Amino acid sequence: MTSPSPGDREKVVSKLPSVLQQDLKIRAAQHNVDIQHAVEAGIRAWRRLGSNLSSVDTAGAKSFATFLPDGQWEEFRTDCASRGVSLIQGLAQSVVMWLETNPAPTAVRPEHPKRIITCNQKGGVGKTAIAAGTGEALAEDADALHPVRISKHFAAALFGGEESSSLDHEDLPGLGLRVLLVDFDPQCHLTKQLGHQPLPIEGDSLTKHMAGEAMGRLADLVVPVEDPRFGDRLHLLPACTDAFLLDVKLSAVRAREAALERALSAIEGDYDAVIIDCPPSLGLSMDAAAYYGRRRQGEAPGNSGVLVVVQAEDSSADAYGLLTSQIEDLRNDMHLELDYLGIVVNHYDARRGYIATSSLSSWMDIKDPRVVGVIGDLKEQKEAVRVKQPLLAYSPRCDQAVGMRALAREIS
C-alpha cells in the first residue's frame, strides 16, 4: 500500500516484526542515517541477491511505514512475487540484510580518559547531582535509545516561559562509555545517593592514597553502580569522612597538586571518563582536583577540564568569581593548560520570577566559559536521592534525565 508524500518519495505501509522495527530504529540512529534510507538500501541489496535469504520469523508482525523512492516499492513487490515470498517476508529479509551489513559501531576509546571536575566553592548548588547525572548519561547502553533534549532549543523554551514538556526531544543511542565517579567530598553525598556506604575511617581510602598512607590497592575500593542500562560501565570510588583531613595531610605532601593524579593513575586507564565530585572548598584539595583536570601533553583542548555548577541567583555568581580566580592563579603559577568545559545552571525554575530569569540571562551572557546545560528544579531528582537510585535509572524519561543526556553530549 502506498500514498503520496512530498518530494520524490512515496509513503509505504506494510508489516514488520516489532523486534526488527526496534533493531532498525536503534541501528539507524547509531549510524546517523534515516530509517527510510536504511530500508531503501536493504531492499536494493536484497533485490541484487541471486537467491533468497533464510526465512525470517514474521509471526506477530505489526504495521510499519516508511518513505521510499518512487517506484521502488512496486518493483520490490514484483520481485517478491517472482521469488515466491510474501511482501512481509521480503521486507523482513531486506531489513535483516541491512542490519547484518551495518553492525553496531564499537565505542571509540579515547587516548586520554576524559576528566571532568565538577566544582563550585558554594555548597547546595547540586554539584553531586550533576556529577552523577553526567556519569550516568555517559555510561548508558549504546544498543538502546534514550530521549535527549535538543540543546539548541532549550534556551529559547526556557526564556519563553514554556513548560518543560514543550522542549524538543530526540531518541538517540546511549554513549556506552566506561565511567568512574569519584566522591571527593568528605560529606559523602554522592556515595550515599547511589546507595553505597562511605568507606570506614579506619580502613583504606582515597585520602590515604593521596597522603602516601595507602593500605591496599585503590581498585579494591571501587564499587559498581548496578543497573541494566549501565551494564558494568559505571563505577564509584566511595568517599570516606577522613577527607575532612585532606588539606592538612596534603600540606605535608611533596608536589601536593599532583596527589590526586598519582592516586588515580593506577585505575584511570580502565575508564573512558573520570568524574570528580568536588567539595565546596577552595583549599588544597581543589588545587589537586583542578590539576588533575589539566590538559595533558597531546590531549585535545576541551577533552578534560572544569565543569562549574551554579544556580540562577546572586550568591552563585559571588562563588563563581572566587573559583575562577583560583583557577586563574593555578594557570599562571603552574603554567597549566586548564580548560573550562562550561557552566551548568542547576535547579532552574522560571516560576521563581525575575531573580531566576534575570540571573539565567546573566549566565547566558557569559561566552567564555559558556552555559552548556540548564537543569530544572523538579521532583524526580529529589525522589531518586530519597530511594538511593541513579536518576537515569529511577526516572529515565523525566526532563532532568533528558537534560543530563544533552549535557553529557555537549561536553563529550
Angle at 311 between CA 167 and CA 371, to 5 degrees: 60
What pLDDT does 315 receive?
Answer: 80
What pLDDT does 319 receive?
Answer: 83
Domain boundary at 52, 68, 101, which?
A: 101
What pLDDT does 151 receive?
Answer: 55
- Whether residue 281 is contained in a domain is answered as yes
Of the candidates 390, 134, 406, which has an alpha carbon nearest to the alpha carbon of residue 275?
A: 134
Question: What CA–CA distance (Å, rounded) separates 158 from 195?
Answer: 33
Tell me: do 188 and 219 sit in the same domain. Answer: yes
- Whether residue 361 is contained in a domain is answered as yes
- Whether residue 330 is contained in a domain is answered as yes
What pLDDT does 162 receive?
Answer: 43
Domain boundary at 56, 75, 101, which?
A: 101
Q: How many domains does the chain have?
A: 2
What pLDDT does 194 receive?
Answer: 96
- Whether residue 158 is contained in a domain is answered as yes
Tell me: do 49 and 135 sit in the same domain. Answer: no
- Whether residue 54 is contained in a domain is answered as yes
What pLDDT does 156 receive?
Answer: 46
- Whether residue 261 is contained in a domain is answered as yes
- Whether residue 143 is contained in a domain is answered as yes
What pLDDT does 314 receive?
Answer: 79
Neighbours of 96 (CB within 10 A): 18
Tell me: do 316 and 238 sit in the same domain. Answer: yes
Tell me: do 78 and 123 sit in the same domain. Answer: no
Tell me: do 205 and 236 sit in the same domain. Answer: yes
What pLDDT does 167 receive?
Answer: 55
What pLDDT does 74 receive?
Answer: 95
Which residue has 566506561 as its cell numbers? 178
Q: How many angstroms separate the first and last alpha carbons of the chain?
A: 43
Tell me: do 184 and 328 sit in the same domain. Answer: yes
Query: In 49-75, which positions are buried (b, 16+ CB within 10 angstroms) versus exposed (e)?
Result: eeeebeebebeebeebebbbbeebbee
Tell me: do 240 and 211 sit in the same domain. Answer: yes
What pLDDT does 292 receive?
Answer: 97
What pLDDT does 2 receive?
Answer: 47
Tell me: do 74 and 142 sit in the same domain. Answer: no
Query: In 156-178, which positions are buried (b, 16+ CB within 10 angstroms) versus exposed (e)?
Result: ebbeeeeebeebebeebbbbbbb
Angle at 25 between CA 1 and CA 381, to 5 degrees: 135
Structural domain of 70: 2-101
Tell me: do 92 and 140 sit in the same domain. Answer: no
Tell me: do 319 and 211 sit in the same domain. Answer: yes
What pLDDT does 94 receive?
Answer: 95
Cα-Cα-Cα-Cα dihedral sign, residues 69, 71, 75, 78: positive
Tell me: do 51 and 189 sit in the same domain. Answer: no
Averages of pLDDT over runs of 10 residues in the chain (412 residues) are 62 94 93 94 92 89 95 94 94 95 83 92 88 97 90 48 56 94 96 96 96 95 96 96 90 91 96 95 90 94 94 82 88 91 92 87 90 92 95 95 95 89
CATH of the domain at 247: 3.40.50.300
Query: Do you know the residue count of the chain?
Result: 412
Domain boundary at 101, 134, 167, which?
A: 101
Tell me: do 251 and 184 sit in the same domain. Answer: yes
* Angstrom distances, CA of residue 334 to CA of 2, 158, 290, 338, 387: 68, 40, 11, 10, 43
- Whether residue 260 is contained in a domain is answered as yes
Question: What CA–CA distance (Å, rounded) separates 87 from 89?
Answer: 5
What pLDDT does 5 receive?
Answer: 52
